Amino acid sequence: MNIEECRAMTEHVHSDGAGMIEHRRTPARPEGGSWPKESKKIQNVSRYWRLSFAASCLGIGLLLSAPAGCDDRPSTVAKAIPRVRVFVVGKQATGQSRRISGKVEAADRSPLSFGVKGTVIEVIVEPGQAVAEGQLLAQLDAEPLRLQLEEARAHLSTSRAQLVEAEATYRRTSKLFKQRGASQKEVDAATASLATSNGDLKAAQGALEQAELDLARTNMTAPFAGQIVQVLVDPFQEVTANDQAIVLQAAGALEIAVRVPETMIREVDFGQVVQATFPSLEGVTVKGLVTTIGADSESGNAFPVTVRLSASEADLRPGMTASVTFNFSAYLDGRTVYLIPLSAIAIDAGLLAPTKPSSEQGSAGNQAPVFVYDSAAGVVRLKRVAVGDLRGNEIEVYDGLQPGDQVVSAGVTFLRDGMKAAVWRRR
């Protein structure tokens, strides 16, 4: 039905309705009067029906008069081809990096003890307090050792007197022996007595020196300037010569203690330069030198290694966590290892999968998914590559890529294998 047919039908309805209304209408309206109520109701119903039917037909005609091509061609929206940023493979790794966590420590850290047995009467310092070299830290009760010192002095005086007497006896006996007034036996006895007296004197002198030293050890002083780390004793506590009382660390020089696995320890050398970073200090990198390498492994078949830091940041403190990076060129063994951006790993396409390392892969024991752009087909291809360790914002690739491959480095989350894409280029 087109709009002309609908209009004709509307006119026909109008005419039929008018005839019907005329048929039901009263013969004539009285002069000066009005139509009866029933006639008005019939007239209103007829007008409403005619208008409604006409509007419906007109709407149908407008819909039917629309272009026929709209029904035949469904509307289509062109799909936009995503543009991706790519990284051209070609950067080779010059060596392998290993990052090992450790702990910052003071280069000079000493647990202090009194060196003698006694009772603590005073602790002068507190943890965290800075002290100068020679400063008094704590004291023992010195009275018992002072008495021992007096006894040692008295014993020394007695020994000296005995020595004087033994020397006189020896000289007298020797003179008499020359005059045939004393026997050889008496001379030998005088000689032995003189030797004994000399020995007693030396022992008494040593005992006096030890008593003086023990008395001095009742005062604990700082052997170097630094900071108090721990105080392990309290007043009126009984201590022995081997009990640690205070832990003191030197100010300034710092080092990092790490444990290197047995598979890497052969590559660590004295004086090797390393890089140290600190999670709590963003952007801080400090160089260090390997100063000590443990001869025996500890827990987990790891060897203790000490790294002395070449410089200390103002905010760097003992006890902080550190990350030490070792660079080992020998790990490559002539193999080609490429570096790609870490952002190229398509985590949503599959998590890192552990694999058994091959002789060619060396230390590579993981596979990771990446998207490689196929410029001939204009699509991205999902590929799994053998990866190694992280190097900052890059990751080592041991197998699966060739020089010149275009690895998608941004927007990998929205890609799928075989999806059409275009390379984003800066205008």
Closest CA to 406 of 83, 81, 85: 85
Distance CA 272, CA 95 (A): 14
Q: Please write the tens of the pLDDT for every residue from 277-304.
A: 888 888 888 888 999 998 887 777 889 9
Contacts of 169 (CB under 8 A, 6+ apart): 190, 193, 194
Q: Which residue has the tokens 């990096």?
A: 97
Q: Sign of the CA dihedral 226, 227, 231, 236?
A: positive
Distance CA 38, CA 27 (A): 13
Indicate the SS3 state at residue 80.
Answer: coil
* Secondary-structure breakdown of the chain: helix, strand, coil percentages, each rounded to the nearest 5: 35, 30, 35
Q: What b/e readout covers 385-395, taking b as 16+ CB neighbours within 10 angstroms? A: bbbbbebeebb
Stretches in the chain below the pLDDT threshold 70:
1-79, 91-96, 311-314, 328-335, 349-365, 392, 427
Q: Please, what is the end-to-end C-alpha distance for the chain in angstroms?
A: 56
Structure token digits, residue 293: 């390498």
The helix-helix angle for 143-178 and 184-216 (nearest 10°) equals 160
Distance CA 397, CA 298 (A): 32
Closest CA to 99 of 310, 396, 401: 396
Q: Which residue has the tokens 């061609």?
A: 73
Q: Decide if 110 contacts 137 (C-beta within 8 A).
A: no
* H or E element, residue 22: helix 3-24
pLDDT of residue 50: 53
Q: In Å, how far are 121, 222, 250 from 109, measured between CA atoms?
A: 25, 12, 6
Q: What one-character DSSP code corresponds to residue 365?
A: -
pTM assigned to the model: 0.45
Q: In Å, how far are 7, 240, 287, 316, 401 from 321, measured between CA atoms?
A: 89, 35, 15, 10, 36
Distance CA 422, CA 131 (A): 67
* H or E element, residue 293: strand 281-293
Distance CA 373, CA 420 (A): 9
Q: Decide if 62 contacts 6 (C-beta within 8 A).
A: no
Structure token digits, residue 241: 């010569």
Indicate the SS3 state at residue 94.
Answer: coil
Strands (E) in 143-294, as ranges, are: 219-221, 226-231, 238-239, 246-250, 254-261, 273-278, 281-293
Paired strand residues for 98:
326
Structure token digits, residue 78: 């062109």
Distance CA 345, CA 369 (A): 6
Q: Decide if 274 contacts 100 (C-beta within 8 A).
A: no
pLDDT of residue 241: 86
Strands (E) in 6-129, as ranges, are: 83-88, 96-106, 109-112, 118-123
pLDDT of residue 361: 41
pLDDT of residue 63: 45
Distance CA 371, CA 382 (A): 5
pLDDT of residue 333: 56
Indicate the SS3 state at residue 141.
Answer: coil
Q: What one-character DSSP code corresponds to residue 423?
A: E
